[in-house]
């Protein structure tokens, strides 16, 4: 892979009508673990494990140049060039970036059931995502404009969310609708319930997206170390962006203004 290439995904399934994934154990994916774009899909008894203790191990810079130089390229890729800040970095702990984006199960499409799985990772444990082409997306030649009719049930998730998104404004109107998460246990998770927006595709010029009819029920979230519930922009600040009124968010939650 070149310096600009992303890490490889473990399993990527695209453009499928009728999919069954079962009885798998997927370990230490370098990037998203199981991603699929399908209609009429079922995932069951499939477990995902990312060794968070190893992949989140902190390094300590112990000298002003040798250790810094050895980690410069890796850290520069995530926006932290430590040579520019020496000797301030000496003695600090630096979190390894390898665990980022190790999503567990990422469904895209319609009529999807994911159940009876265990996911332990360091990003979205389940991330229900919109089709990248929005209203132009197709599966086997038939239009699938939205990820919809998804049920996730009887799961143990420890990571960064039973998630919907990210969903950002797009000229092709990205959307996720009719999603149910039910009977979910989340012990020691980073985030629990997680619905997230994203930056616009083209500065919000004739762009929109929506998320609707999302149900979370029968959850046990035990001692999350970030937030039990997060609804809003995704976790990181997008480079070169800022909050403004060019692309407002609207939250239509029944019973609230």
Across 80-89, 180-189, 194-203, which has the greatest mean pLDDT?
A: 180-189
* pLDDT for residue 254: 56
CA-to-CA distance for 19 and 161, rounded, in angstroms? 24
| The residue count for the chain | 257
Using DSSP's 3-state secondary structure scheme, residue 4 falls into: coil
Q: What's the whole-number mean pLDDT along residues 172-181?
A: 97
Q: What is the largest CA-CA distance in the chain?
A: 59
CA distance 1 to 26: 22
Whole-number pLDDT of residue 242: 54
Exposed/middle/buried for 74, CB within 10 Å: 0-12, 13-18, 19+? middle
pLDDT tens readout for residues 92-125: 444 443 456 889 999 999 999 999 999 999 899 9
Per-residue pLDDT tens over the stretch 203-215: 777 888 999 999 9
- In the 8-state DSSP scheme, what is residue 170? B
Torsion of CA 100, 76, 167, 199, to 10 degrees: 160
CA distances to 14, 50, 197 from 102, in Å = 19, 7, 19
- Tally of CB atoms within 10 A around 57: 14
Lowest mean pLDDT among 11-15, 141-145, 242-246: 242-246
Residues 6+ apart with CB under 8 A from 89: 61, 68, 82
Position with higher pLDDT, 6 vs 63:
6
- The per-residue pLDDT for range 7-26, each reduced to its tens digit, is 789 999 999 999 999 999 99
Three-class SS state of 1: coil
Average pLDDT score over the chain? 79
DSSP 250: -
Say whether pLDDT at 91 is over 80: no
Over the range 158-174, which residues count as b (16 or more CB within 10 Å of their CB) and which as e? bbbbbbbbbbbbbbbbb
- What is the three-class DSSP state of 20? strand
Query: Which of 193, 241, 190 lies closest to 214 in space, CA to CA?
Result: 193
- The model's pTM is 0.77
Average pLDDT over residues 213-227: 93
Of 39-53, 84-98, 145-159, minimum mean pLDDT range? 84-98
- Looking at the DSSP bridge assignments, the partners of residue 223 are none
**Domains of the chain, first to last:** 11-56+99-233 (2.160.20.10), 58-95 (no CATH)
Query: In terms of Cα–Cα distance, which of 65, 181, 198 is closest to 113?
Result: 181
Which of 155, 126, 153, 158 is CA-nearest to residue 223? Answer: 158
């Amino acid at each position: 892979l070149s310096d600009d290439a992303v890490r490889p995904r473990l399993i990527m399934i695209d453009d499928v009508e009728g999919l069954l994934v079962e009885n798998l154990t997927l370990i230490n994916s370098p990037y998203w673990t199981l991603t699929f774009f399908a209609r009429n899909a079922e995932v069951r008894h499939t477990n995902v494990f990312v060794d968070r203790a190893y992949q989140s191990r902190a390094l300590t810079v112990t000298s002003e140049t040798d250790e810094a130089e050895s980690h410069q390229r890796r850290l520069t890729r995530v926006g932290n060039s430590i040579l520019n800040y020496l000797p301030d970095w000496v003695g600090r702990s630096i979190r390894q970036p390898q665990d980022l984006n190790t999503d567990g199960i990422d469904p895209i499409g319609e009529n999807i059931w994911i159940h009876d799985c265990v996911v332990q990772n360091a990003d979205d444990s389940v991330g229900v995502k919109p089709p990248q082409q929005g209203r132009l997306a197709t599966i086997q030649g038939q239009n699938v404009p939205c990820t919809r009719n998804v049920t996730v049930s009887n799961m143990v998730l420890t990571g960064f969310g039973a998630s919907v998104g990210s969903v950002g404004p797009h000229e092709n109107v990205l959307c996720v609708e009719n999603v149910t998460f039910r009977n979910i246990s989340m012990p020691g998770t980073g985030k629990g319930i997680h619905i997230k927006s994203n930056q616009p595709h083209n500065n919000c010029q004739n762009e929109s997206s929506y998320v609707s009819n999302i149900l979370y029920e029968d959850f046990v979230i035990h001692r999350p170390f970030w937030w039990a519930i997060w609804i809003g922009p995704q976790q990181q600040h997008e480079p070169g962006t800022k909050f403004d009124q060019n692309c407002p968010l609207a939250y239509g939650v029944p019973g609230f203004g």
